[in-house]
Structure 1
Amino acid sequence: MGLKFLVFFVCVGVASAFLASYENCSEKCSIDEIRIDPCNSKKRCTFKLGSNVSISFDFTPSFTATEMLTALYSDQHNAKLTSIGNNGIVDACDLTPCPTEPGNQQLFNYTLHIGKKLPAASYQFRWQLWNKNNEEEYCCFKTNVRLRK
Protein backbone atom coordinates (compact mmCIF):
# COMPACT_ATOMS: atom_id res chain seq x y z
CA MET A 1 0.00 0.00 0.00
CA GLY A 2 2.88 2.41 0.76
CA LEU A 3 4.36 1.87 -2.72
CA LYS A 4 1.04 2.87 -4.35
CA PHE A 5 1.07 6.17 -2.45
CA LEU A 6 4.68 6.83 -3.45
CA VAL A 7 3.88 6.17 -7.12
CA PHE A 8 0.82 8.46 -6.85
CA PHE A 9 2.85 11.33 -5.38
CA VAL A 10 5.60 10.94 -7.97
CA CYS A 11 2.98 11.03 -10.75
CA VAL A 12 1.30 14.10 -9.23
CA GLY A 13 4.71 15.85 -9.01
CA VAL A 14 5.48 15.11 -12.65
CA ALA A 15 1.98 16.14 -13.77
CA SER A 16 2.19 19.48 -11.94
CA ALA A 17 5.26 20.59 -13.91
CA PHE A 18 4.21 22.63 -16.94
CA LEU A 19 5.54 22.17 -20.45
CA ALA A 20 6.86 25.66 -21.10
CA SER A 21 7.19 27.32 -24.49
CA TYR A 22 10.77 28.03 -25.51
CA GLU A 23 13.07 28.93 -28.34
CA ASN A 24 16.14 26.82 -29.07
CA CYS A 25 19.22 29.06 -29.49
CA SER A 26 21.88 26.50 -30.43
CA GLU A 27 22.61 24.64 -33.64
CA LYS A 28 24.85 22.16 -31.80
CA CYS A 29 22.12 20.79 -29.55
CA SER A 30 18.39 20.20 -29.62
CA ILE A 31 16.17 21.00 -26.66
CA ASP A 32 13.39 18.43 -26.76
CA GLU A 33 11.13 19.49 -23.87
CA ILE A 34 11.18 21.87 -20.91
CA ARG A 35 9.22 21.33 -17.69
CA ILE A 36 8.88 24.14 -15.13
CA ASP A 37 7.23 23.92 -11.71
CA PRO A 38 5.47 26.05 -10.64
CA CYS A 39 4.11 27.35 -13.92
CA ASN A 40 0.52 27.69 -15.07
CA SER A 41 0.86 29.34 -18.47
CA LYS A 42 2.51 28.07 -21.62
CA LYS A 43 3.13 31.64 -22.80
CA ARG A 44 5.00 32.90 -19.71
CA CYS A 45 5.68 31.40 -16.28
CA THR A 46 5.25 33.65 -13.23
CA PHE A 47 7.56 33.19 -10.24
CA LYS A 48 7.34 34.75 -6.81
CA LEU A 49 10.48 36.49 -5.57
CA GLY A 50 12.12 34.44 -2.82
CA SER A 51 10.72 31.13 -4.13
CA ASN A 52 12.29 28.03 -5.64
CA VAL A 53 11.56 26.90 -9.20
CA SER A 54 12.18 23.38 -10.53
CA ILE A 55 13.38 23.30 -14.11
CA SER A 56 14.04 20.12 -16.04
CA PHE A 57 14.65 19.67 -19.71
CA ASP A 58 15.57 16.99 -22.19
CA PHE A 59 18.43 17.83 -24.53
CA THR A 60 20.32 16.02 -27.26
CA PRO A 61 23.85 17.33 -27.89
CA SER A 62 25.73 16.79 -31.16
CA PHE A 63 29.04 16.78 -29.26
CA THR A 64 30.93 14.86 -26.60
CA ALA A 65 31.80 16.68 -23.40
CA THR A 66 33.50 15.24 -20.33
CA GLU A 67 33.06 18.49 -18.37
CA MET A 68 30.10 20.85 -18.69
CA LEU A 69 29.08 24.17 -17.15
CA THR A 70 25.68 25.84 -16.96
CA ALA A 71 24.30 29.31 -16.23
CA LEU A 72 21.09 31.28 -16.44
CA TYR A 73 21.05 34.70 -18.06
CA SER A 74 18.53 37.47 -18.62
CA ASP A 75 18.26 39.57 -21.75
CA GLN A 76 15.87 42.24 -20.54
CA HIS A 77 15.16 45.03 -23.03
CA ASN A 78 18.04 43.86 -25.31
CA ALA A 79 20.54 44.56 -22.54
CA LYS A 80 23.84 42.71 -22.36
CA LEU A 81 23.35 39.18 -21.11
CA THR A 82 24.09 39.04 -17.40
CA SER A 83 23.99 36.20 -14.93
CA ILE A 84 21.09 36.44 -12.50
CA GLY A 85 20.27 34.80 -9.20
CA ASN A 86 22.68 33.61 -6.56
CA ASN A 87 24.15 30.62 -8.38
CA GLY A 88 26.19 32.04 -11.26
CA ILE A 89 28.06 29.41 -13.31
CA VAL A 90 27.82 25.89 -11.91
CA ASP A 91 29.16 22.43 -12.74
CA ALA A 92 26.51 20.90 -15.01
CA CYS A 93 27.85 17.38 -14.42
CA ASP A 94 26.27 17.56 -10.94
CA LEU A 95 22.90 18.02 -12.70
CA THR A 96 23.14 15.68 -15.71
CA PRO A 97 25.38 12.69 -16.50
CA CYS A 98 28.80 13.39 -17.99
CA PRO A 99 30.28 12.65 -20.44
CA THR A 100 27.66 13.58 -23.02
CA GLU A 101 27.49 11.55 -26.23
CA PRO A 102 26.43 12.90 -29.63
CA GLY A 103 22.81 12.00 -30.44
CA ASN A 104 21.99 10.67 -26.94
CA GLN A 105 19.13 12.46 -25.17
CA GLN A 106 19.84 13.48 -21.58
CA LEU A 107 17.81 14.86 -18.70
CA PHE A 108 18.88 18.02 -16.87
CA ASN A 109 17.32 18.90 -13.47
CA TYR A 110 17.83 22.12 -11.54
CA THR A 111 16.22 23.94 -8.65
CA LEU A 112 16.58 27.69 -9.11
CA HIS A 113 16.18 30.09 -6.18
CA ILE A 114 14.56 33.35 -7.30
CA GLY A 115 16.28 35.98 -5.14
CA LYS A 116 14.15 38.56 -3.31
CA LYS A 117 16.42 41.41 -4.46
CA LEU A 118 15.71 40.89 -8.17
CA PRO A 119 13.39 43.50 -9.71
CA ALA A 120 9.79 42.34 -10.21
CA ALA A 121 9.40 42.49 -14.01
CA SER A 122 9.07 40.41 -17.18
CA TYR A 123 12.24 38.78 -18.49
CA GLN A 124 13.45 36.50 -21.20
CA PHE A 125 15.56 33.85 -19.48
CA ARG A 126 18.36 32.27 -21.48
CA TRP A 127 19.62 28.96 -20.13
CA GLN A 128 22.97 27.76 -21.44
CA LEU A 129 24.80 24.48 -20.93
CA TRP A 130 28.26 24.21 -22.53
CA ASN A 131 31.35 22.11 -22.96
CA LYS A 132 33.92 23.45 -20.48
CA ASN A 133 36.72 22.62 -22.92
CA ASN A 134 35.07 24.12 -26.02
CA GLU A 135 32.58 26.95 -25.44
CA GLU A 136 31.42 26.74 -29.07
CA GLU A 137 29.73 23.44 -28.15
CA TYR A 138 26.63 24.36 -26.17
CA CYS A 139 22.93 23.84 -25.62
CA CYS A 140 20.70 26.85 -25.16
CA PHE A 141 17.06 27.83 -24.86
CA LYS A 142 15.11 31.01 -24.16
CA THR A 143 11.79 31.27 -22.33
CA ASN A 144 9.67 34.15 -21.04
CA VAL A 145 9.01 34.61 -17.33
CA ARG A 146 7.57 37.19 -14.98
CA LEU A 147 8.90 37.80 -11.47
CA ARG A 148 6.40 39.13 -8.93
CA LYS A 149 6.54 40.19 -5.29
Structure 2
Amino acid sequence: MVQITFKENPVTLPNKEVKAGEKIPDFTVLANDLSPVTAQDTAGKIRLFSVVPSLDTGVCSDQTKRFSDEAASLGDNVEVLAVSCDLPFAQKRWTEINGVNNLTTLSDHRDLSFGESFGVSMQELRLLARSIFVVDENDEVAYVEYVSEGTDHPDYDKAIQAVKELTK
Protein backbone atom coordinates (compact mmCIF):
# COMPACT_ATOMS: atom_id res chain seq x y z
CA MET A 1 0.00 0.00 0.00
CA VAL A 2 1.26 3.47 -0.92
CA GLN A 3 1.89 5.84 1.98
CA ILE A 4 2.34 9.55 1.43
CA THR A 5 2.24 12.77 3.35
CA PHE A 6 0.85 16.16 2.48
CA LYS A 7 2.57 19.06 4.22
CA GLU A 8 4.31 16.37 6.29
CA ASN A 9 0.98 14.96 7.59
CA PRO A 10 0.05 11.39 6.65
CA VAL A 11 -3.00 11.08 4.39
CA THR A 12 -5.28 8.14 3.71
CA LEU A 13 -5.32 6.76 0.19
CA PRO A 14 -7.51 3.98 -1.23
CA ASN A 15 -6.10 0.49 -0.72
CA LYS A 16 -5.11 0.35 -4.39
CA GLU A 17 -1.70 0.69 -5.97
CA VAL A 18 -1.13 0.74 -9.71
CA LYS A 19 2.14 -0.91 -10.73
CA ALA A 20 4.16 -1.07 -13.91
CA GLY A 21 3.12 -4.04 -16.02
CA GLU A 22 -0.55 -3.81 -15.10
CA LYS A 23 -3.35 -2.71 -17.41
CA ILE A 24 -4.56 0.83 -16.95
CA PRO A 25 -7.52 0.95 -14.53
CA ASP A 26 -10.86 2.18 -15.83
CA PHE A 27 -11.95 5.70 -14.86
CA THR A 28 -14.28 8.49 -15.87
CA VAL A 29 -13.25 12.13 -15.58
CA LEU A 30 -14.57 15.34 -17.13
CA ALA A 31 -13.15 17.34 -20.01
CA ASN A 32 -13.26 21.14 -19.85
CA ASP A 33 -16.63 21.09 -21.68
CA LEU A 34 -18.04 18.70 -19.00
CA SER A 35 -18.09 15.73 -21.38
CA PRO A 36 -17.03 12.42 -19.81
CA VAL A 37 -13.63 10.99 -20.67
CA THR A 38 -12.89 7.34 -19.89
CA ALA A 39 -9.72 5.27 -19.95
CA GLN A 40 -10.91 3.84 -23.27
CA ASP A 41 -11.27 7.36 -24.71
CA THR A 42 -7.56 7.96 -24.10
CA ALA A 43 -6.44 4.68 -25.70
CA GLY A 44 -4.25 4.31 -28.76
CA LYS A 45 -1.39 6.60 -27.79
CA ILE A 46 1.35 6.68 -25.23
CA ARG A 47 -0.05 8.64 -22.31
CA LEU A 48 1.61 10.53 -19.50
CA PHE A 49 -0.87 11.21 -16.70
CA SER A 50 0.40 14.08 -14.58
CA VAL A 51 -1.70 14.04 -11.42
CA VAL A 52 -1.80 17.10 -9.15
CA PRO A 53 -3.84 18.27 -6.15
CA SER A 54 -4.74 21.68 -7.68
CA LEU A 55 -3.47 23.66 -10.65
CA ASP A 56 -3.77 26.85 -8.60
CA THR A 57 -0.82 25.99 -6.35
CA GLY A 58 2.86 26.60 -7.07
CA VAL A 59 4.24 23.07 -7.43
CA CYS A 60 1.16 21.84 -9.31
CA SER A 61 1.32 24.79 -11.67
CA ASP A 62 5.05 24.26 -12.26
CA GLN A 63 4.55 20.53 -12.82
CA THR A 64 1.79 21.08 -15.36
CA LYS A 65 3.74 23.77 -17.21
CA ARG A 66 6.84 21.56 -17.28
CA PHE A 67 5.00 18.60 -18.79
CA SER A 68 3.25 20.88 -21.28
CA ASP A 69 6.63 22.21 -22.39
CA GLU A 70 8.04 18.67 -22.64
CA ALA A 71 5.00 17.46 -24.60
CA ALA A 72 5.94 19.57 -27.59
CA SER A 73 9.03 17.42 -28.20
CA LEU A 74 7.57 13.98 -27.47
CA GLY A 75 5.90 13.37 -30.83
CA ASP A 76 2.40 12.94 -32.18
CA ASN A 77 1.93 9.51 -30.61
CA VAL A 78 2.21 10.89 -27.06
CA GLU A 79 -0.56 12.60 -25.13
CA VAL A 80 0.00 14.39 -21.84
CA LEU A 81 -3.03 14.54 -19.57
CA ALA A 82 -3.10 16.62 -16.39
CA VAL A 83 -5.63 15.29 -13.86
CA SER A 84 -6.80 17.20 -10.79
CA CYS A 85 -9.95 17.76 -8.75
CA ASP A 86 -10.20 21.36 -9.96
CA LEU A 87 -13.47 22.22 -11.66
CA PRO A 88 -13.30 21.93 -15.46
CA PHE A 89 -13.97 25.67 -15.78
CA ALA A 90 -11.06 26.47 -13.46
CA GLN A 91 -8.78 24.14 -15.43
CA LYS A 92 -9.71 25.83 -18.69
CA ARG A 93 -9.14 29.28 -17.19
CA TRP A 94 -5.77 28.17 -15.76
CA THR A 95 -4.56 26.82 -19.12
CA GLU A 96 -5.60 30.03 -20.89
CA ILE A 97 -3.98 32.33 -18.33
CA ASN A 98 -0.76 30.28 -18.34
CA GLY A 99 -0.58 29.71 -22.10
CA VAL A 100 -0.55 25.95 -21.63
CA ASN A 101 -1.71 24.26 -24.82
CA ASN A 102 0.34 21.08 -25.24
CA LEU A 103 -1.64 18.96 -22.81
CA THR A 104 -5.23 18.14 -21.89
CA THR A 105 -6.61 18.94 -18.46
CA LEU A 106 -9.13 16.52 -16.98
CA SER A 107 -11.22 16.97 -13.84
CA ASP A 108 -11.87 14.25 -11.27
CA HIS A 109 -13.95 16.54 -9.05
CA ARG A 110 -17.30 14.82 -9.62
CA ASP A 111 -16.69 11.18 -8.72
CA LEU A 112 -13.02 10.81 -7.75
CA SER A 113 -13.10 7.95 -10.25
CA PHE A 114 -9.49 8.42 -11.36
CA GLY A 115 -8.33 8.92 -7.79
CA GLU A 116 -10.03 5.77 -6.54
CA SER A 117 -8.94 3.63 -9.52
CA PHE A 118 -5.30 4.72 -9.32
CA GLY A 119 -5.16 4.87 -5.51
CA VAL A 120 -4.43 8.61 -5.34
CA SER A 121 -7.50 10.22 -3.75
CA MET A 122 -6.49 11.76 -0.42
CA GLN A 123 -9.54 11.11 1.74
CA GLU A 124 -8.87 13.86 4.27
CA LEU A 125 -8.56 16.54 1.58
CA ARG A 126 -10.71 15.25 -1.32
CA LEU A 127 -7.79 16.04 -3.60
CA LEU A 128 -5.55 13.84 -5.71
CA ALA A 129 -2.06 12.92 -4.53
CA ARG A 130 0.80 14.05 -6.75
CA SER A 131 1.72 11.17 -9.02
CA ILE A 132 2.80 10.22 -12.54
CA PHE A 133 1.60 7.32 -14.67
CA VAL A 134 2.99 6.50 -18.12
CA VAL A 135 0.87 4.11 -20.16
CA ASP A 136 1.73 2.56 -23.53
CA GLU A 137 -0.46 2.23 -26.64
CA ASN A 138 -1.66 -1.20 -25.44
CA ASP A 139 -2.96 0.20 -22.13
CA GLU A 140 -0.11 -1.26 -20.10
CA VAL A 141 1.32 0.88 -17.33
CA ALA A 142 5.03 1.39 -18.02
CA TYR A 143 6.04 3.82 -15.26
CA VAL A 144 4.57 4.91 -11.93
CA GLU A 145 5.62 7.50 -9.39
CA TYR A 146 3.65 8.21 -6.24
CA VAL A 147 5.39 11.30 -4.85
CA SER A 148 5.98 10.55 -1.16
CA GLU A 149 5.47 14.15 0.01
CA GLY A 150 2.60 15.89 -1.75
CA THR A 151 4.30 19.27 -1.82
CA ASP A 152 7.44 17.92 -3.57
CA HIS A 153 8.04 17.80 -7.31
CA PRO A 154 7.94 14.47 -9.16
CA ASP A 155 11.01 13.13 -10.93
CA TYR A 156 10.41 14.84 -14.28
CA ASP A 157 13.44 13.31 -15.97
CA LYS A 158 12.46 9.72 -15.11
CA ALA A 159 8.89 10.28 -16.33
CA ILE A 160 10.04 11.80 -19.63
CA GLN A 161 12.62 9.03 -20.06
CA ALA A 162 9.87 6.43 -19.58
CA VAL A 163 7.86 8.07 -22.34
CA LYS A 164 10.88 8.26 -24.65
CA GLU A 165 11.64 4.56 -24.09
CA LEU A 166 8.15 3.75 -25.38
CA THR A 167 8.56 5.91 -28.50
CA LYS A 168 11.69 4.09 -29.70
With the length of structure 1 as denominator, give the TM-score of the two structures. Answer: 0.28
More strand per residue: 1
With the length of structure 2 as denominator, give the TM-score of the two structures. Answer: 0.26
More helix per residue: 2
